[in-house]
Amino acid sequence: MGDNGTSRIGIVGAGAMGRGIAQVAAAGGCSVLLYDARSEATAEAIAFIGGMLDRAVEKGRMESEDAEAAKSRLAAADDLAAFADADVVIEAVSEDIELKSKVFSALEEATRPDCILASNTSSLSITRLAAACDHPERVAGFHFFNPVPLMPLVEVIAGIRTDQKVIDRLVALGKVMGRTPVRVADAPGFLVNQVGRGYTLEATNLVAEGVTDFASVDRIMREAAGFRMGPFELLDLTALDVTHPATIEIYEQSYHEPRFRPAMLMGQRMQAGLLGRKTQQGHYTYLEGKQQRPEEPDAPPFEGGMFWVEPGEDCAALQEIVRSSGAELDEGAQPGDESIILIAPLGTDASTHAAQAGLDPERTVAIDPLFGFAGRRTAMKTIVTRPEVMTKTHAMLTSDGTPVTPIQDSPGFVAQRIVAMITAIGSGVAQNRIATPDDIDRAVKLGLNYPNGPLEFADKLGIARVLKILEGMSTCTGDPRYRTGPWLRRRAALGLSAKTPETPTHS
Ligand SMILES: NC(=O)c1ccc[n+]([C@@H]2O[C@H](COP(=O)([O-])OP(=O)(O)OC[C@H]3O[C@@H](n4cnc5c(N)ncnc54)[C@H](O)[C@@H]3O)[C@@H](O)[C@H]2O)c1
């Protein structure tokens, strides 16, 4: 290894990931040998990387001499014997445990005993890959994100028998490559892909239950909850034949943890060939690569009406929306006979909430309070809310220009359910010591582009509110996927931030 942390690197597999890793390694000053079982793939990859480096120069992101120097550090290898002098070999072949195990056995033969063997696998167990090797202590995960040059995160994953020095060296190498490395213990889906299940699985479950449609979930998550991409746009980009098998792998490795239970609808859509952008048909249709977003139906015209708001934390904000719309506000202690009843539950479905509060379910509409009624409002029916009540409420809520999505009854609406699942999984990652609280939030923001990390979400929205949402979902459905865990409960009980780490047992 060079004094400045640079290394002689071998990369096996010159596909989408291998070439991205080769690019950032060469740009960081490492010498890189690239090998692929298809001999033409390596030449293609080197030409592709050259083009990417030229583009970086054109866009002013790189000096031309640096780009030329990076190109000169890249070369093709004809076979694995070329890696005899490598300090680190990164495996990026297709996601197949048998194939990867064979590659690792061959690498053990081809490399020096102190050469680190790293895998870029997204979902296979590092401990299991290492167990097939004579020296599992030199095997680790080095998990980059696609497209590598634009995604700064790398997870450095220690298998059960990985030497700590190997992890330290990969962390240093990650920095040389211009990445932000986070240390992660071996776990199903590691850190980022474990948390990512919360977003896409819960969204798919919601649609499977008939709560609303794909485009509506995406709009709510973008415009109310502040995510850059809706879960179904994301699934179309990644492709279901990647996401669904990875979910099954994570579920199996976790011995059927209910939070990772695959969604039946996702499996069916994969079998039907609705994979996403790459097949032009997924949750959306694509024409010449352009997503065809269904038009949102026009909002109904304002008809006035009398609205009563249930007392509670969000009552004043909802009353203000009613007042400023020009509709009448019923200020009675109980709703008048003709008034539409607005409620703002956390975790409870509208029907159960109305029944428990003794409110007329045919006149009740629930509005999601979690993100402060900004960006986009979600209006949820009870199972028997009258259509004209929904129409009047929709028109009133949108009179200030804020769009509204009407949905069927669901404990936790859409955004509450999805964000609560992200925090539940993220706090499970913290509780199981897979990564530190700071690294969990950092990795999720960098690797998934979420507006907040899972623990930050819990702090911003209030741990007590997140717990209430999970408890409500759990009570209504009886599904253990929604159970709360000790991480959030203890920090809520002590009034501490969700990011509070635990003190050591000894000084
Ligand atoms: N694509 C992503 O978004 C992404 C993100 C993170 C991690 N990963 C992981 O990275 C790895 C590679 O994924 P990808 O998207 O680059 O796949 P890819 O299909 O684009 O590339 C795989 C390459 O491996 C080559 N290959 C197959 N068997 C080989 C062998 N025995 N020896 C040498 N080369 C061989 C193939 O010819 C191909 O060029 C997988 O483990 C995947 O899970 C992928």
Q: What residues pair up with 154 in beta bridges, in sequence order?
A: 144, 181
Quick one: 246 and 107 in the same domain?
no
Residue 142 lies in a domain: yes
Q: Which of 24, 93, 120 to mutate to test the pocket of ligand 1 (most atoms within 8 A of CB)?
A: 93
Q: What residues pair up with 33 in beta bridges, in sequence order?
A: 10, 75
Q: To 10 degrees, what angle do helices 192-208 and 240-253 make?
A: 110
The mean pLDDT value of the chain amounts to: 96
pLDDT of the residue at 173: 97
pLDDT at 6 over 90: no
Average of per-residue pLDDT across 162-173: 97
pLDDT of the residue at 1: 60
Helices (H), 111-226: 126-131, 164-176, 192-208, 214-223
Report the C-alpha dihedral over residues 440, 444, 450, 452, rounded to 10 degrees.
Answer: 10
Residue 388 lies in a domain: yes
**CA-100 nearest atom, ligand 1:** 31
**How far does the centroid of ligand 1 lie from the alpha carbon of residue 33, in Å?**
16
**Residue 98 annotated among the catalytic residues of the structure:** no
Residue 162 lies in a domain: yes
Quick one: 235 and 171 in the same domain?
no
**CA-103 nearest atom, ligand 1:** 31
**How far does the centroid of ligand 1 lie from the alpha carbon of residue 16, in Å?**
7
**How far does the centroid of ligand 1 lie from the alpha carbon of residue 15, in Å?**
5
pLDDT at 7 over 90: no
Average of per-residue pLDDT across 411-434: 98
Say how many Å lie between the first and final Cα of the chain, rounded.
36
**CA-93 nearest atom, ligand 1:** 24
> Residue 328 has which token pair?
């009448």
**CA-41 nearest atom, ligand 1:** 39
pLDDT of the residue at 507: 87
pLDDT at 472 over 80: yes
Residue nearest to atom 38 of ligand 1 (CA): 15
**How far does the centroid of ligand 1 lie from the alpha carbon of residue 310, in Å?**
55
Give residue 63's identity as a one-letter amino acid code: E
pLDDT at 151 over 60: yes
pLDDT at 3 over 60: no
> Residue 493 has which token pair?
């009980």
Please report, for the domain that includes residue 169, its CATH number.
Answer: 3.40.50.720
Average of per-residue pLDDT across 168-177: 97
Domain limit, last residue, from 185, 211, 226? 185
- The per-residue pLDDT for range 104-118, each reduced to its tens digit, is 999 999 999 999 999
Residue nearest to atom 25 of ligand 1 (CA): 13
Q: To 10 degrees, what angle do helices 387-397 and 315-325 make?
A: 80
Quick one: 314 and 262 in the same domain?
no
**Residue in 129, 109, 202, 147 with CA at minimum distance from that of residue 19:** 147
Residue 445 lies in a domain: no
**Residue in 193, 194, 165, 170 with CA at minimum distance from that of residue 182:** 170
The band of 43, judged by pLDDT with boundaries at 50, 70 and 90, is very high
Residue 74 lies in a domain: yes
Quick one: 150 and 19 in the same domain?
yes
- For the sheet containing 153-158, what is the strand order? 74-76, 31-35, 8-12, 88-91, 116-119, 139-144, 153-158, 180-185
pLDDT at 288 over 80: yes
Task: Name all residues whose Cβ lies below 6 A of ligand 1.
Answer: 12-18, 35-38, 41, 92-95, 99, 103, 120-122, 144-146
**How far does the centroid of ligand 1 lie from the alpha carbon of residue 169, in Å?**
23
Q: What's phi and psi for 286, nearest 5 deg?
A: -120, 130
Query: Catalytic pick from 193, 205, 399, 410?
Result: 193
Quick one: 35 and 108 in the same domain?
yes
pLDDT of the residue at 2: 61
**How far does the centroid of ligand 1 lie from the alpha carbon of residue 146, in Å?**
11
CB of 293 closer than 8 Å to CB of 230: no
Query: Catalytic pick from 7, 91, 123, 143?
Result: 143
**Residue 193 annotated among the catalytic residues of the structure:** yes
pLDDT at 303 over 90: no
Quick one: 221 and 350 in the same domain?
no
Residues 6+ apart with CB under 8 A from 277: 236, 237, 239, 286, 289, 291
**Residue 474 annotated among the catalytic residues of the structure:** no
Q: How many residues does the chain have?
A: 507
**CA-144 nearest atom, ligand 1:** 6
CB of 55 closer than 8 Å to CB of 62: no
**How far does the centroid of ligand 1 lie from the alpha carbon of residue 393, in Å?**
51
Query: Catalytic pick from 155, 223, 249, 310?
Result: 155
pLDDT at 443 over 90: yes
Q: What is the DSSP letter of 15?
A: S
**CA-18 nearest atom, ligand 1:** 16
Domain limit, last residue, from 185, 219, 247? 185
The answer to whether the Cα torsion of 45, 448, 124, 269 is positive or negative is negative
**Residue in 346, 292, 333, 327 with CA at minimum distance from that of residue 461:** 346
Quick one: 14 and 116 in the same domain?
yes
Quick one: 48 and 178 in the same domain?
yes
Residue 285 lies in a domain: yes
Quick one: 176 and 265 in the same domain?
no
Average of per-residue pLDDT across 263-274: 98
pLDDT at 5 over 90: no
**How far does the centroid of ligand 1 lie from the alpha carbon of residue 207, in Å?**
32
Domain count, the chain: 3
Domain limit, last residue, from 292, 325, 350? 292
How crowded is residue 161: how many other Cβ atoms within 10 Å of its Cβ? Answer: 16
Residue 66 lies in a domain: yes
Average of per-residue pLDDT across 256-271: 98
Average of per-residue pLDDT across 292-318: 95
**CA-102 nearest atom, ligand 1:** 31
Quick one: 311 and 230 in the same domain?
no
**Residue 328 annotated among the catalytic residues of the structure:** no
- The per-residue pLDDT for range 207-229, each reduced to its tens digit, is 999 999 999 999 999 999 999 99
**CA-123 nearest atom, ligand 1:** 43
Query: Catalytic pick from 31, 120, 122, 399?
Result: 122
> Residue 262 has which token pair?
């695959």
Residue 420 lies in a domain: no
Q: Are strands 139-144 and 153-158 parallel, antiparallel or unpaired?
A: antiparallel
CB of 90 closer than 8 Å to CB of 142: yes
Q: Which of 23, 39, 94 to mutate to test the pocket of ligand 1 (most atoms within 8 A of CB)?
A: 94
**How far does the centroid of ligand 1 lie from the alpha carbon of residue 454, in Å?**
29
Average of per-residue pLDDT across 136-164: 97
Please report, for the domain that includes residue 271, its CATH number.
Answer: 1.10.1040.50
Residue by residue, DSSP assigns 375-400 as: S-EEEEE-TT--HHHHHHHHHHHTTT
pLDDT at 177 over 80: yes
pLDDT of the residue at 39: 87
**How far does the centroid of ligand 1 lie from the alpha carbon of residue 401, in Å?**
47
Range of the domain at 345: 306-402
The dihedral region occupied by 212, where left means phi > 0, alpha psi between -120 and 50, and beta the remainder, is beta
As a whole number of angstroms, the distance between CA 309 and CA 342 comes to 5
**pTM to 2 decimals?**
0.95
Give residue 1's identity as a one-letter amino acid code: M
